[in-house]
């Protein structure tokens, strides 16, 4: 018997209506299941990258920051003058083919000085932020993990440093350091880092308290894991989102602190230079020779805006409730 006869049935019988499943609904279900499977296969890093790259302002900030870093790295090699070199035939000269951004009152090239100031500010900002977030992570997580007297001592030190007028103390100590070491940049970095980790340490301590009693931490303890290993492998990775966000935004705070202190004469001192030093030196000439002030200030503003955009993008990428990064 042929297939046609089987489908038609016996003579005289009524055709049977067979229900048909909509192909559109089935295809949508298959696609949804495939997307769900792909989402489950994505790692945390892949989800973070997807959400970050969908945030246009964060990508713009990252691109701007990369350009600024390239400008700081390549700038000394394309500059016609050294930042410490003076052109005695061009005092307060406007921008021209020889001095691209003009010169200062002592004949220094504004382009070379801006590049050098940006390099110093970047080194100080990145170093201070890195030291601060490291100290905060170690102290905050250790205080919550060990508890007892260690926790009480750590909290006492944190509270003490929080009530100390840090700006005034940094200004006083930096003056003494500058007199002895002629404005040492490493000493200034350590000084800024000492007074900037306390709030982050308190937050990390609170987050560690909610993580230390989890099953995987308890299992690591029973398996004989050492405290530094448990903190480094099981606790800190689970609060890494806050640490990364805090470190990113800490760069902008550190650069602003350095600029403020240098502006008032308590930070980087001549013959070394930074963006704060350049702005302070040129503030009196801004009305007559604006190029000595505008270009360093513009670079500082662009740097701070880019770092803040990156920090906001990192925060939104880690925050699953944020809509700016879309869905993974």
- Give a yes or no: residue 20 inside a domain: no
Q: DSSP states of 7-25 as a string?
A: HH-STTPPPPPPP---HHH
- Greater model confidence, 283 or 61: 61
327 pLDDT more than 60: no
pLDDT band at 4 (very low <50, low <70, confident <90, very high): very low
**What's the confidence (pLDDT) of residue 67?**
96
- pLDDT over 90 percentage in the chain: 43
Q: DSSP states of 32-52 as a string?
A: HHHHHHHHHH--HHHHHHHHH
- Give a yes or no: residue 1 inside a domain: no
- Give a yes or no: residue 88 inside a domain: yes
Question: pTM score, two decimals?
Answer: 0.81
**What's the confidence (pLDDT) of residue 87?**
83
- Give a yes or no: residue 33 inside a domain: no
Helices (H), the chain: 3-8, 23-41, 44-53, 56-78, 110-146, 148-163, 166-181, 185-194, 198-211, 215-222, 227-230, 240-263, 275-282, 291-318
User: pLDDT tens for residues 192-236?
Assistant: 999 889 999 999 999 999 888 888 888 988 888 899 999 998 899
Phi and psi angles of residue 178, each rounded to the nearest 5 degrees, phi first: -65, -35
328 pLDDT more than 60: no
Count: domains in the chain: 1
User: pLDDT tens for residues 241-261?
Assistant: 899 999 999 999 999 998 988
- Give a yes or no: residue 131 inside a domain: yes
**What's the confidence (pLDDT) of residue 172?**
82
pLDDT band at 313 (very low <50, low <70, confident <90, very high): very high
Question: Considering just the CA atoms, what is the radius of gyration of the chain in Å?
Answer: 30
CATH number at residue 196: 1.10.3720.10
Q: Tell me which residue range forms the domain holding 228.
A: 54-318
HSE (side-chain half, CA atoms, 13 Å) at 148: 4
What mean pLDDT, rounded, does the chain reach? 84
Distance of CA 95 to the CA centre of its chain: 34
Q: Report the distance separating Cα 98 and Cα 119, nearest Å.
A: 22
User: pLDDT tens for residues 116-136?
Assistant: 999 999 999 999 999 999 999
- Give a yes or no: residue 73 inside a domain: yes
**What's the confidence (pLDDT) of residue 6?**
44
- Greater model confidence, 25 or 96: 96
What is the rounded average pLDDT of the residues 27-46? 66
**What's the confidence (pLDDT) of residue 23?**
53
Name residue 108's beta-bridge partners: 86
- pLDDT over 70 percentage in the chain: 83
What is the rounded average pLDDT of the residues 41-62? 88
- Give a yes or no: residue 13 inside a domain: no
- Give a yes or no: residue 10 inside a domain: no
């Amino acid at each position: 018997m042929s297939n046609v006869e089987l489908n038609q049935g016996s003579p005289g019988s009524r055709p049977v209506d067979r229900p048909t499943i909509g192909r559109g609904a089935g295809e949508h279900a298959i696609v949804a299941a495939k997307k769900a499977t792909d989402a489950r296969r994505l790692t945390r890093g892949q989800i973070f990258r997807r959400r970050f790259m969908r945030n246009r302002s964060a990508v713009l900030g990252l691109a701007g920051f990369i350009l600024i870093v390239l400008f700081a790295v390549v700038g000394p090699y394309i500059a016609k003058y050294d930042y410490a070199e003076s052109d005695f035939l061009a005092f307060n000269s406007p921008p021209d083919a020889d001095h691209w951004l003009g010169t200062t009152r002592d004949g220094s090239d504004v382009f070379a000085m801006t590049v050098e100031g940006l390099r110093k500010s970047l080194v100080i900002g990145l170093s201070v932020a890195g030291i601060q977030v490291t100290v905060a992570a170690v102290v905050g997580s250790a205080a919550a993990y060990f508890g007892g007297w260690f926790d009480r001592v750590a909290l006492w030190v944190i509270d003490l440093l929080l009530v100390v007028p840090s700006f005034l103390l940094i200004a006083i100590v930096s003056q003494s350091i500058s007199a002895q070491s002629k404005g040492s940049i490493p000493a200034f970095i350590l000084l800024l880092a000492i007074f900037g980790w306390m709030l982050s340490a308190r937050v990390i301590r609170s987050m560690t308290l909610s993580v230390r009693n989890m099953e995987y931490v308890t299992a690591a303890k029973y398996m004989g894991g050492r405290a530094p290993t448990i903190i480094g492998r099981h606790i800190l990775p689970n609060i890494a989102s806050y640490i990364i966000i805090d470190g990113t935004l800490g760069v902008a705070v550190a650069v602003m602190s350095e600029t403020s202190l240098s502006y008032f004469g308590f930070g980087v001192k001549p013959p070394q230079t930074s963006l704060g030093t350049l702005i302070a030196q040129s503030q009196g000439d801004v009305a007559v020779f604006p190029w000595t002030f505008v270009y360093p200030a513009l670079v500082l503003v662009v740097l701070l805006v880019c770092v803040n955009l990156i920090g906001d993008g990192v925060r939104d990428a880690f925050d699953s409730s944020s809509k700016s990064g879309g869905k993974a």
